C-alpha cells in the first residue's frame, strides 16, 4: 500500500509528542497490512467530512485519510478530536 502525506498532515505530525508519534508509526504499520484491523477502529466520517475516513492512534488522537485508489491512501490530518471541525 502506498501512503501519501498531505502538507497539513506533515505539519500537524511534527507537533505531536514523541509518545504519540511512536504510537502513530505503530498504527501505520498495522494500517498498511489491513486498514480495517479492529485495533485501528477505522470508520467512515459523516456530515461535511463524509468523503473521508478516520482511524485511532490512541483514545485522543486520530488520523483522517482518503482512499485514493486500490493501493493508494492520502493521510490528510492528524490530531485530537478538534481535527473534525
Please tell me which residue, 65 or 80, carries the higher pLDDT value.
65
What distance in Å separates the CA atoms of residue 71 and residue 3, rounded to the nearest whole number? 8
Q: Are 78 and 57 in contact (CB under 8 A)?
A: yes
CA trace torsion 34, 40, 42, 48 (10° rounding): -130
The secondary structure of residue 39, as a DSSP letter, is G
Q: Give residue-wise pLDDT tens across range 44-73.
A: 999 999 999 999 999 999 999 999 988 899
Q: Are 67 and 55 in contact (CB under 8 A)?
A: no
Q: Give residue-wise pLDDT tens across range 11-29.
A: 999 999 999 999 999 999 9
Please tell me which residue, 84 or 7, carries the higher pLDDT value.
7
Q: Give me the domains of the chain, ranges plus CATH numbers.
A: 2-80 (3.30.2310.20)
pLDDT of 82 > 90? The answer is: no
Look at residue 85 in the predicted model and tell me its pLDDT.
58
Amino acid at each position: 500500500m502506498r501512503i501519501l502525506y498531505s502538507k497539513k498532515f506533515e505539519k500537524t505530525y511534527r507537533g505531536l509528542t514523541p509518545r504519540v508519534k511512536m504510537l502513530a508509526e505503530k498504527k501505520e504499520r498495522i494500517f498498511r497490512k489491513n486498514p480495517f484491523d479492529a485495533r485501528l477502529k477505522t470508520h467512515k466520517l459523516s456530515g461535511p467530512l463524509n468523503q473521508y475516513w478516520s482511524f485511532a492512534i490512541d483514545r485522543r488522537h486520530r488520523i483522517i485519510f482518503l482512499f485514493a485508489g486500490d493501493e493508494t491512501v492520502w493521510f490528510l490530518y492528524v490530531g485530537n478530536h478538534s481535527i473534525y471541525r
